[in-house]
């Protein structure tokens, strides 16, 4: 869930000031529009790691907005009044009226996470609470309350350091009230907290109320990103889009925010050692054969997903995997435009029908992720449809996982230059020409849009059961080895 | 959930034949419309008590529809093929394509109920499965698959008798494959089954895919009601209504179905014994005082809901309750048209803000049920809004229940004649005239619509935690005693 947030996100002071000038004007316009319409209330739920700067973010938003139409709601230990009523009463009592914006620190998410981390809720009770949360948030949305759920993300160690500094600077008087997770339950509380947060972001990121994960190491970037997300939320609320996404994990094209992409963070120049390649390949294939013919595999099943840039070498990588498998036990599914039969059914149907039996292997050359890649970028699916696809896909893969299937997902990444070289190569060689279509050239023009869609896809669907593996694929041999090694290691784990 | 279904629902042969003639024509028209549009697929999920006639219903629908565009899907013990894949694969494999109708016996609901009854799933696993189900069904709906979820309801004993007969008639060859629930686990399996079915109908009756409970004792009524529900579903699908209700627990005004109402099944002539009334009243009030001042009550809380016909005597009944309570510990909330402040927030807000502290009592003279009564009948809320209110209200009351509150809900029913008498009385007496408004006369004209809305309300929100109590109120004294007795008995239980 934090794949792209873990990349460095920085803004210089100049960049920030330019962004701020722009944001202030647009935010005020949008705020007054929402206030005049009185059709939607906005709740900005500022959550995240301790020390990531929740208070600072709220202060910044106060600076930018008209403060007559804003209120801060901050929840700490329940009061006597609150304890005497159901847990959600405190939030209901403070519900902002239509036209207004509430900035919330310590929302219902916070309390739930805390209770799970402290061991007051077991796994099942926590899961049930998450489901209740999904239904409540859906109800609020239908009643005109737009939620902007922000998760300020900061590396644990960095957050600790930042807290230390704050304490020194403020002295005992303004010591932030923070729980020392590492000291509770021999460190288990910290582990439960991290796991519970991941699960919450994964499961409660619905089409109508997705989490926006905001990297919080650099305060400039952090504040500008939150401002941008709020602007999108206000604009969506003013336009009355019925079920459109209010947020995105990454910035919009309109914003001035720097957009670190997952691909640009990869070292695409990685290469395989030419001398040992053949031997390594054979060894990995041997291990794959062993793992998939072992008796224990009969109760499992392997679902491999290959996505990536056009000409990134998916076919070649699949071939190296395929060679190691019993031909009776696998099938490769090339996913192109859906057939008439498939179009007449829910989009996941074409994949359900091709699920392998337990003990078998299904290789998907492109997959259900088309919904949030090509269908999103080309506009084949409206935003409300591809936004809800993230949780739907997570549900789907969770079903596979619970049934014993191992889902391994690859994104094969090449540089734009390398792609051009491969396209030209395909044009030149008659036997390769069939591999290149006008679509490939067209997709290439939308490189940045695909990269953005891919980044959000990885952020939203790299679940605990089925994480994505990004593969540096400028060197085909390197990519093949990495693909094989990943599968083998997941199988052997 | 089975309040109105437990009333006798009968149709004569003549009535049935008239209904059939009408249904066949309309069903075929609607079916071809859906088939031509190819925009929606219909799944009719026929579930219910063993012996209630699931097979017969499917056969009847086959007779009425064009059978080229219909398919039956029947699920029994999973095959080897099916067991080798995730549980829902079998349903995905058979997914009907858009334009077609699938008649399903043994849907996912059936399997889940069975596993819960056999003890293969514990309570938590069952709850989680229900939540997964809600999300899957919501996804199907958004993908164009309209679900008509039918629950054929039959009294257990009647179903048993019917099965016996079927066995005798068919001999060993066509013996229905039925589980003898009473013989498993010393009868506990039967109890679990009943409880699990109630919970399922309550929790998975969402705005987009509500259960339709069909009384199945009389095959004529049963088949005509199912035909009518299917007609509504097809019409809704053809009109492409985005989130409108596809079904209703009771028949529509257009249909020829007899409509037993919950009120007409009451014996409104019941009266209190004049000689013992005062003593009984005093005794009950005394018990109420004791129960609400007991130490154990401090961790509880009492929420009383009074709904009913205009002039049914809610005020008088409330007064008799109020007299027994400590004035510091209760508040009466008269619910009229919402204020500006209330209109600017989710509709439940005005009730959340008035929740009592634990240990206190809140009396609502009219309540959140306005959403599914006056707002529905007067058209203040569109169908998609009042349909989703049933599960939302159940969620709300469940939160109260889990927090220790006792929710006791009354519908005070009087006859039309009695209401007229009371209205005229109010007109005649100057000090009562303020109690009568032009609205009261207008509502009176919509008597049948209110009765229908009330029946569906009771069916859909009489939950296990917060059941409705219907009060025969032509005799005010009788009503007051019944109200007090119900509260006292619930408190003492």
Residue A468 near residue A460, CB atoms below 8 Å:
no
A172-230: pLDDT as tens digits: 555 556 677 777 888 888 888 989 999 999 889 888 888 989 999 999 999 999 999 99
Residue B176, pLDDT > 70, answer: no
Q: Does B84 contact A at CB distance below 8 Å?
A: yes
Interface of B with A in 179-208 (CB under 8 A): none
Among B82, B352, B387, B396, the strongest candidate for a mutation testing the A interface, having the largest count of A CBs within 10 A, is B352
Domain formed by B277-492, architecture: 3-Layer(aba) Sandwich (3.40)
**Residues linked to residue B150 through DSSP beta bridges, in sequence order:** B46, B212
Tokens read off for A384: 């409300």
Quick one: pLDDT band at residue B374, thresholds 50, 70, 90? very high
Among B35, B79, B81, B86, the strongest candidate for a mutation testing the A interface, having the largest count of A CBs within 10 A, is B86
Residue B384 pLDDT? 82
Residue burial A320-331, b: 16+ Cβ < 10 Å; e: rest = bbbebbeeebbe
Interface of A with B in 289-348 (CB under 8 A): 341, 344-348
Residue A250 pLDDT? 46
Hey, which bits of B309-348 come out as E strands? 330-334
Place of tokens 């994480």: A467
A274-283: pLDDT as tens digits: 999 999 999 9
Residue A287, pLDDT > 90, answer: yes
Quick one: pLDDT band at residue B387, thresholds 50, 70, 90? confident
A84·B358 Cβ contact <8 A = yes
Residues 6+ apart with CB under 8 A from A24: A64
Distance CA(B18)–CA(B286), nearest Å, equals: 57
Say whether B344 sits in a helix, a strand or coil.
Answer: coil
Residue A240 pLDDT? 75
Burial label, A244 (beta-carbon count in 10 A; 0-12, 13-18, 19+): middle
Quick one: pLDDT band at residue B246, thresholds 50, 70, 90? very low
Quick one: pLDDT band at residue B254, thresholds 50, 70, 90? low
| Mean pLDDT computed over A157-167 | 80
Residue B173, pLDDT > 70, answer: no
Write out chain A residues lying below 8 Å of B82, CB-based.
none
A345·B127 Cβ contact <8 A = no
A91-142: pLDDT as tens digits: 999 999 999 999 999 899 999 999 999 999 998 889 989 999 999 999 999 8
B355·A403 Cβ contact <8 A = no
A9-31: pLDDT as tens digits: 888 999 999 989 999 999 999 99
- What ipTM was reported for this prediction? 0.82
Lowest mean pLDDT among A425-434, A463-472, B345-354: A425-434
Distance CA(A339)–CA(A337), nearest Å, equals: 7
CA distance B364 to chain A (A): 17
Asked whether this chain's domains A13-239 and A277-492 adopt the same fold, the reply is yes
| Mean pLDDT computed over B123-139 | 91
CATH fold for the domain made of B13-239: Rossmann fold (3.40.50)
Burial label, A341 (beta-carbon count in 10 A; 0-12, 13-18, 19+): exposed
Tokens read off for A62: 């106060």
Residue A333, pLDDT > 90, answer: yes
Residue A160 pLDDT? 80
Distance CA(B205)–CA(A328), nearest Å, equals: 44
Residue A276 near residue A379, CB atoms below 8 Å:
no
Which of the two residues, A292 and B464, has the higher pLDDT score? A292
- Measured at the alpha carbon of residue A6, what is the angle toward residues A2 and A223, in degrees to the nearest 5? 95
The mean pLDDT value of chain A amounts to 88
Write out chain A residues lying below 8 Å of B357, CB-based.
81, 84-85
Residue A174 pLDDT? 55
B127·A132 Cβ contact <8 A = no
Q: Does A243 contact B at CB distance below 8 Å?
A: no
Interface of A with B in 387-406 (CB under 8 A): 388, 391-392, 395, 399-400, 402-403, 405
| Mean pLDDT computed over B417-427 | 91
> What are the residue ranges spanned by the domains of chain B?
13-239, 277-492
Write out chain A residues lying below 8 Å of B132, CB-based.
395
How many residues comprise chain B? 493
Residue A167, pLDDT > 80, answer: no
pLDDT > 70: percent of chain A: 95
Residue A411 near residue A339, CB atoms below 8 Å:
no
Half-sphere exposure of B492 (CA within 13 A, CB side): 12
Write out chain A residues lying below 8 Å of B136, CB-based.
395
A402·B128 Cβ contact <8 A = no
Tokens read off for A182: 């590492």
CB pairs below 8 Å between A and B: how many?
Answer: 123
Write out chain A residues lying below 8 Å of B202, CB-based.
none
Q: Does A87 contact B at CB distance below 8 Å?
A: yes
A144·B399 Cβ contact <8 A = no
Q: A206, A356, A183: which is closest to B131 by C-alpha?
A: A206
Q: A363, A365, A270: which is closest to A324 by C-alpha?
A: A363
Distance CA(B55)–CA(B74), nearest Å, equals: 10
Residue B282 pLDDT? 96
Lowest mean pLDDT among A337-351, B181-195, B206-220, B312-326: B181-195
Distance CA(B207)–CA(B104), nearest Å, equals: 21
Q: Does A71 contact B at CB distance below 8 Å?
A: no
Lowest mean pLDDT among A387-401, A468-482, B470-484: A387-401
Which of the two residues, B237 and B249, has the higher pLDDT score? B237
Q: Please state the three-class secondary structure of chain A as a single string.
A: CCCCCCCCCCCCHHHHHHHHHHHHHHHHHHHHHHHHHCCCEEEEEEEECCCCCHHHHHHHHHHHCCHHHEEEEECCCCCHHHHCCCCCHHHHHCCCCCCCEEEEECCHHHHHHHHHHCCCCCHHHHHHHHHHHHHHHHHHHHCCEEEEEEEEECCHHHHHHHHHHHHHHHCCCCCCCCCCHHHCHHHHHHHHHHHHHHHHHHHCCCCCCCEEEEECCCHHHHHHHHHHHHHHHHHHHHHCCCCCCCCCCCCCCCCCCCCCCCCCCCCCCCCCCCCCHHHHHHHHHHHHHHHHHCHHHHHCEEEEEEEECCCCCHHHHHHHHHCCCCHHHEEEEECCCCCHHHHCCCCCHHHHCCCCCCCCEEEEECCHHHHHCHHHHCCCCCHHHHHHHHHHHHHHHHHHHHCCEEEEEEEEECCHHHHHHHHHHHHHCHHHHCCCCHHHHHHHHCHHHHHHHHHHHHHHHCCCCCCEEEEECCCHHHHHHHHHHHHHHHHHC
Residue A86 near residue B355, CB atoms below 8 Å:
yes
Say whether B125 sits in a helix, a strand or coil.
Answer: helix
CA distances from B198 to A170, A179, B237 (A): 57, 43, 28
Strongest mean pLDDT among A366-375, B247-256, B445-454 = A366-375
Residue B174 pLDDT? 55
A98·B345 Cβ contact <8 A = yes
Quick one: pLDDT band at residue B305, thresholds 50, 70, 90? very high
């Amino acid at each position: 869930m934090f794949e792209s947030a873990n990349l460095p996100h920085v803004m210089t002071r100049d960049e920030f000031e330019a962004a701020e000038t722009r944001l202030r004007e647009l935010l005020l316009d949008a705020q007054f529009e929402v206030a005049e319409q009185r059709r939607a209330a906005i709740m900005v739920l500022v959550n995240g790691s301790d020390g990531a700067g929740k208070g600072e973010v709220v202060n910044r938003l106060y600076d930018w907005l008209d403060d007559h139409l804003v209120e801060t709601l901050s929840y700490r230990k329940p009061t006597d009044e609150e304890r005497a009523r159901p847990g959600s009463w405190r939030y209901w009592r403070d519900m902002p009226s239509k036209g207004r914006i509430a900035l919330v620190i310590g929302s219902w998410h916070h309390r739930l996470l805390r209770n799970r981390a402290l061991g007051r809720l077991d796994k099942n009770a926590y899961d049930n609470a998450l489901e209740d949360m999904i239904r409540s948030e859906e109800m609020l949305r239908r009643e005109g309350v737009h939620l902007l759920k922000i998760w300020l993300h900061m590396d644990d160690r960095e957050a600790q350091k930042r807290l230390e500094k704050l304490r020194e600077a403020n002295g005992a008087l303004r010591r932030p009230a923070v729980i020392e997770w590492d000291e509770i339950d021999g460190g288990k509380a910290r582990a439960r907290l991290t796991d519970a947060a991941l699960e919450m972001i994964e499961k409660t990121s619905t089409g109508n109320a997705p989490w926006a994960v905001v990297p919080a190491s650099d305060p400039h970037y952090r504040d500008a990103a939150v401002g941008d997300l709020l602007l999108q939320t206000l604009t969506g609320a003013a336009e009355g889009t019925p079920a459109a996404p209010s947020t995105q994990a990454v910035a919009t094209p309109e914003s001035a925010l720097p957009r670190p992409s997952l691909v640009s963070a990869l070292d695409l120049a990685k290469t395989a050692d030419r001398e040992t390649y053949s031997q390594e390949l054979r060894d990995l294939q041997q291990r794959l054969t062993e793992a998939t013919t072992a008796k224990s595999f009969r109760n499992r099943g392997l679902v491999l997903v290959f996505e990536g840039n056009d000409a990134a070498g998916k076919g070649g990588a699949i071939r190296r995997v395929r060679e190691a498998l019993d031909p009776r036990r696998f099938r490769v599914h090339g996913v192109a435009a859906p057939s008439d039969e498939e179009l007449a059914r829910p989009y996941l149907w074409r994949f359900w029908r091709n699920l392998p039996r337990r003990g078998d292997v299904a290789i998907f050359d492109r997959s259900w992720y088309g919904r949030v890649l090509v269908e999103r970028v080309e506009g084949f699916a409206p935003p409300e449809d591809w936004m809800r696809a993230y949780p739907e896909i997570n549900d789907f893969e969770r079903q596979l996982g619970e049934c014993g299937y191992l889902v391994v997902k690859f994104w094969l990444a090449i540089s734009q230059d390398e792609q051009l070289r491969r396209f030209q190569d395909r044009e030149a060689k008659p036997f390769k020409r069939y591999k290149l279509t006008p679509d490939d050239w067209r997709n290439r023009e939308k490189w940045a849009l695909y990269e953005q869609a891919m980044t959000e896809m990885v952020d939203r669907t790299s679940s605990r059961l089925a994480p994505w593996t990004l593969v540096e694929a400028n060197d085909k041999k390197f990519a093949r080895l990495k693909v094989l090694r990943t599968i083998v290691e997941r199988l052997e784990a």
